[in-house]
Amino acid sequence: MSVALEAEASGYNFAYLDEQTKRMIRRAILKAVAIPGYQVPFAGREMPLPYGWGTGGIQVTAAVIGADDTLKVIDQGADDTTNAVSIRRFFQRTAGVATTTATTDATVIQTRHRIPETPLTEDQILVYQVPIPEPLRWMEARESETRKMHALAEYGVMHVRLYEDIAHMGRIVKSYDYPVRVDGRYIMAPSPIPKFDNPKMDRMAALQLFGAGREKRIYAVPPYTRAESLDFEDHPFEIQSWDDGCALCGAIDSYLDEVVTDDKGGRMMVCSDTDHCDKRRAAGYSGPMAAPYAETPK
């Protein structure tokens, strides 16, 4: 973090970025909303956090957040992973906005790698941090070529990749960052969320914004817009499932993290969405390894 920021946060503009930069980003966002799934190049700024650690998401959040917003930041579904903590602090310090861990209380949610389990509403904006915005990258490394492929909707290679999975392994093995076709037109990288979350993206009530800071791209899925996961008729898209539910709250329909409990093969599965798990336990749900529920110490 920059020297000046440590010393005197109030020396910076609201939410760090200057107003001109925010306007530039808002214009890119508007264009992205107008062309769902299209990657809009934008003049990404150098942020006081490293590239690859959420600079794209931070810039998008900074451009859309207002003084009366309530911000939630999650990484891997959790509010208290170190990078989520660091980004939440950044906005507390530079924007002084209210923050929350409760999905339902947030108006803006910045996320890395997950969509909250609780369905989002029209009053919320979900901001994704994106490392590689180009879904065609692994078949074609050149930006000059991939832009042309998007423009002409030449997407045969995406299915070539899925074909290869099935041919060699009997199933589509892509498990995260699973490509979607937005509004029947652009193929889009949903960021490295597990494919478990892809169905939530489809026709979501909330506005979904994607920021890639290092690659300097912004894209969007407007509310209630189709986002279809690519597949074959005879190998339809499917999501992950587990044999047992969350060891703490007993949920059987949430995405689970695996916790290694000893070096003798001991494992337990817990909700990756910590707020979801907390809320369920507060409501009296319990899994096989749960301690009696207590308010989380602040």
Partner 1 sequence: MYVAVKGGEKAIDNAHALLAEARRGDTSVPELSIAQIREQMRLAVDRVMAEGSLYDPDLAALALKQARGDAVEAIFLLRAYRTTLPRLAVSRPVDTAKMQVRRRISATFKDLPGGQILGPTFDYTHRLLDFTLAAESLETPAAPEAEPPEDAGMPRVVDILGDEGLIEADIPAEPDAVPGDLTREPLEFPAGRDIRLQNLARGDEGFVLGLAYSSQRGFGNTHPFAGEIRVGAVEVEIVPEELGFPITIGRVELTECQMVSQFKGAKDKPAQFTRGYGLTFGHNERKAMAMSIVDRTLRADEFGEERAHPAQDEEFVLSHTDNVEASGFLQHLKLPHYVDFQGELVNVRALRRAATPARLKEIAE
Partner 2 sequence: MNLVSTAARDLDDDPPLLSVRNLAKHYGNALGCRAVSFDLWPGEVLGIVGESGSGKTTLLNCLSGQIDADGGEILYRHRDGEVADFRTLPEPQRRALLRGEWGLVHQNPRDGLRLRVSAGANIGERLMAEGARHYGEIRGAAMNWLSRVEIATDRTDDLPIRFSGGMQQRLQIARTLVTGPRLVFMDEPTGGLDVSVQARLLDLIRGLVDELGAACVIVTHDLAVARLLAHRLMVMKGGEVVEAGLTDQVLDDPHHPYTQLLVSSVLQV
Which residue, 27 or 226, has its beta carbon nearer to partner 1?
27
CA 17 to chain centre: 22
Q: Is 252 in the site for partner 1 (CB under 8 A)?
A: no
Q: How far is CA 73 from each of CA 66, 162, 265, rounded to the nearest angstrom?
A: 15, 33, 32
Q: Which of residues 180-239 bind partner 2 (CB under 8 A)?
A: 231-235
Q: Is 167 in the site for partner 2 (CB under 8 A)?
A: yes
Query: Which one of partner 1, partner 2, none interacts with residue 157, CB within 5 to 8 A by kind?
Result: partner 2
In the complex, minimum distance from the CB of residue 156 to partner 2, in angstroms, rounded to a whole number: 3
Q: How far is CA 112 from each of CA 27, 242, 258, rounded to the nearest angstrom?
A: 23, 22, 18
Which residue, 22 or 150, has its beta carbon nearer to partner 2?
150
Instruction: Clarify whether 56 is annotated catalytic.
Output: no
Query: Which of 57-65, 182-190, 221-229, 269-277 is the region at the interface with partner 1 (rule: CB under 8 A)?
Result: 269-277
Q: Which among 78, 75, 79, 72 has a CA at the least distance from the CA of 124?
A: 72
Nearest 5°: the CA angle 228, 196, 259 is: 165
# residues near partner 2 by CB under 8 A: 20
Instruction: Clarify whether 249 is annotated catalytic.
Output: yes
Instruction: Clarify whether 246 is annotated catalytic.
Output: yes
Active-site annotation holder among 66, 277, 284, 287:
277
Q: In the set 163, 237, 285, 293, which binds partner 2 (CB under 8 A)?
A: 163
Cβ–Cβ < 8 Å for 38, 186:
yes
Q: In the set 168, 253, 284, 298, which binds partner 2 (CB under 8 A)?
A: 168
For the four alpha carbons of 128, 133, 135 and 138, in that order, the dihedral sign comes to negative
Beta bridge partners of 126: 109, 208
CA dihedral in degrees (44, 48, 49, 52; nearest 10)? 30
53: its two tokens: 């650690």
In the complex, minimum distance from the CB of residue 136 to partner 2, in angstroms, rounded to a whole number: 13
Q: Is 174 in the site for partner 2 (CB under 8 A)?
A: no
Instruction: Clarify whether 277 is annotated catalytic.
Output: yes
Instruction: Clarify whether 271 is annotated catalytic.
Output: yes
Q: Which of residues 32-71 bind partner 1 (CB under 8 A)?
A: 41-48, 50-53, 55
Active-site annotation holder among 54, 245, 271, 287:
271
Burial per residue of 136-166, b for 16 or more beta-carbon CB atoms within 10 angstroms, e otherwise = beebeeeeeebeebbeeeebeebeebbeeee
Q: Which among 20, 33, 14 has a CA at the least distance from the CA of 219?
A: 33
70-75 and 98-99 beta bridge pairing: parallel
Q: Is 3 in the site for partner 2 (CB under 8 A)?
A: no
Q: Is 127 in the site for partner 1 (CB under 8 A)?
A: no
# residues near partner 1 by CB under 8 A: 71
Q: Identify the residue whose tokens are 């037109």.
A: 185
Query: Which one of partner 1, partner 2, none interacts with residue 159, CB within 5 to 8 A by kind?
Result: partner 2
Residues that bind partner 2 (CB under 8 A): 151-157, 159-161, 163-164, 166-168, 231-235
Catalytic residues, by residue number, are: 37, 246, 249, 271, 277
